[in-house]
Amino acid sequence: MIEIKHVSKWYGDFQVLNDCTTFVSKGDVVVVCGPSGSGKSTLIKCVNGLEPFQKGEVTVDGVKVGDRKTNLPQLRAKVGMVFQHFELFPHLRVVENLRLGQEKVLGRSRAEADAKAMSLLERVGLTVHARKYPGELSGGQQQRVAIARALAMDPICMLFDEPTSALDPEMISEVLDVMVDLAHEGMTMMVVTHEMGFARKVADRVIFMDRGEIVEDAAKDEFFGQPRSERAQQFLSKILAH
């Protein structure tokens, strides 16, 4: 489904991604972790072309992301993305946030988009907030709306960029619950997160990044059992210590 081959990226002289190669198969949940500044977010943003890269190749569903001829909007419409800071559109009501892409990208009718929006809001338990503005909701609620907004496009896979990092601790689980449900339904997911509990529960593979490199790419049990690299061991001991 998602293939990343020898991707390198520089900001000026600084190399943020160094020869990264990995893949996400259909129905798989792959968790990407690593210390801050290791390039995890940059890597995931290369998948839907939000970040350009200078070397290598990314293909999603057989379509080359870096190719000039690729219709990026069309590709992005099929790839759902959830951001660290939610990025709901604050001038639009919740239901309008869910309708925008459906109407303006997929060309669905107002009624169709509305029905889809309401059923997804019900799914994330936010039906009563449909007419509110994002600013009136809590962080956890906003992130659930953001997930619903991405799902409204009927994506073939979902990208999560640290979806719980900006949340208060008590709101993390309500968002993770939605993500766990999604994973159980067989959604293909690439998730940048520090939530190792989530990784243990639903991940098929775990990728560990450090200084722009993919240091470890292993099945979940293998990764948590005995990580091969020293850097991954240190990272795990740090975040699992408390």
Partner 1 sequence: MFSNFDWDVIARSLPYLFYDGMVFTLTLTALATAGGIVLGTLIAMMRLGGLPVLPWIAATYVNFIRSLPLVLVIFWFYFLVPYIGQWVTGASRPVQVGAFTSCLVTFTLFEAAYFAEIMRAGIQSIPKGQVAAGYALGLSYGKVMRYVVLPQAFRNMIPVLLTQTIILFQDTSLVYVLSITDFLGAASKVAQRDGRLVEMYLFAAAVYFVISFAASSLVRRLQARVAIVR
Closer to partner 1 by Cβ: residue 37 or 90: 90
Residue whose token pair is 């896979």: 157
Closer to partner 1 by Cβ: residue 19 or 61: 61
Closer to partner 1 by Cβ: residue 74 or 119: 74
Nearest-approach distance from CB 25 to partner 1, in angstroms: 22
Q: Is 29 exposed, middle or buried (0-12, 13-18, 19+ CB in 10 A)?
A: buried
Q: How far is CA 37 from CA 54, 109, 213, in A?
A: 19, 42, 11
Closer to partner 1 by Cβ: residue 7 or 94: 94
The dihedrals phi and psi of 158, each to the nearest 5 degrees, come to -125, 140
Nearest-approach distance from CB 224 to partner 1, in angstroms: 31
* Cα–Cα distance for residue pair 241/113, rounded to 1 Å: 46
What's CA 207's distance to the chain center, in Å?
14
Residues that bind partner 1 (CB under 8 A): 45, 48, 50, 72-81, 83, 85, 87-91, 100-101, 104-106, 133-136, 149-150, 153
Nearest-approach distance from CB 39 to partner 1, in angstroms: 17
Nearest-approach distance from CB 60 to partner 1, in angstroms: 13
